[in-house]
Amino acid sequence: MKPISPPVRPDAHIASRVIDHFQIADVRFAEVSARLVNDAPPDGSLGYEANKVEALYVHESKNHRLHVVLPFVIVLGVTPTNGPKQPLAEVRVSLVVTYIQHARESAPTEEEIAHYAGVSGLMHGWPYLRAETQSLTTKLGLVPLVLPVMISGQAAERVTISRLKPASRGTPQSAEKKRRAPPMASQRGTRATKTGRTRTES
């Protein structure tokens, strides 16, 4: 998937202009995985780093749909009392958030859609990432990692958004096997294997 626009940092003020044009319709998981990268970590303080999300969006004007793809990566590490920080585990969660576009007297501009996709996609996807990260770190035998709550003003620091050309058939998530996210419940279809990886059960 090659973007057709350069990445921008979403602005919550611009996004708010078209908030009444869109309604969230669906959240799907495109990827869920977790693995240990250090089987014998030293004692020390735990920490994590979250990637700056390079989000993508597709605006299907004819179908009145907006799809936002959010690939999250969380890297956990441990810092010994005397020594450098060492990697411990990696969690990957990719979400596709879909919105319905309502008919209004004035249509939103492409700039407004991009900013809305970046801000709202992050805000709607983040709770699912928090729940999945807490579950996956527990399954890896680690102290459950609880990510902080996200606010819209942090979007510019956390995500960039680029536009994708609408596909002739299907949506951005159709190339992979997906599972629908239930309304903010624990994701029971994912479990860790003995190697520390996770897999999705149908």
The pLDDT value given to residue 182: 52
- In a domain, residue 3? The reply is no
Q: What is the pLDDT of residues 81-134, one digit of tens each?
A: 888 888 999 999 999 999 999 998 899 999 999 999 999 999 999 999 999 999
How far apart (Å, rounded) are the C-alpha atoms in residues 45 and 119? Answer: 32
The pLDDT value given to residue 174: 46
The pLDDT value given to residue 190: 36
How far apart (Å, rounded) are the C-alpha atoms in residues 109 and 31? Answer: 31
Q: What is the pLDDT of residues 187-201, one digit of tens each?
A: 333 334 333 433 333
- Inter-residue contact 31 to 94 (CB < 8 Å): yes
- In a domain, residue 69? The reply is yes
Length of the chain: 202
- In a domain, residue 181? The reply is no
Chain center to CA of 164: 17
What band does 167 get if pLDDT is binned at 50, 70 and 90? confident
* pLDDT for 173 beyond 80: no
CATH assignment at residue 139: 3.10.420.10
- In a domain, residue 152? The reply is yes
The pLDDT value given to residue 184: 47
- In a domain, residue 64? The reply is yes
- In a domain, residue 36? The reply is yes
The pLDDT value given to residue 42: 73
- In a domain, residue 200? The reply is no
pTM > 0.85? no
- Inter-residue contact 71 to 129 (CB < 8 Å): no
Q: What is the pLDDT of residues 42-76, one digit of tens each?
A: 778 889 999 999 999 999 999 999 999 999 999 99
Q: Which residues contact 143 (CB under 8 A, 6 or more apart)?
A: 46, 137
How many domains does one find in the chain?
1
Look up the domain containing 114 and give its range: 12-167
- In a domain, residue 187? The reply is no
Mean pLDDT, to the nearest integer, of 139-144? Answer: 91
Answer with the residue of higher pLDDT: 162 or 85.
162
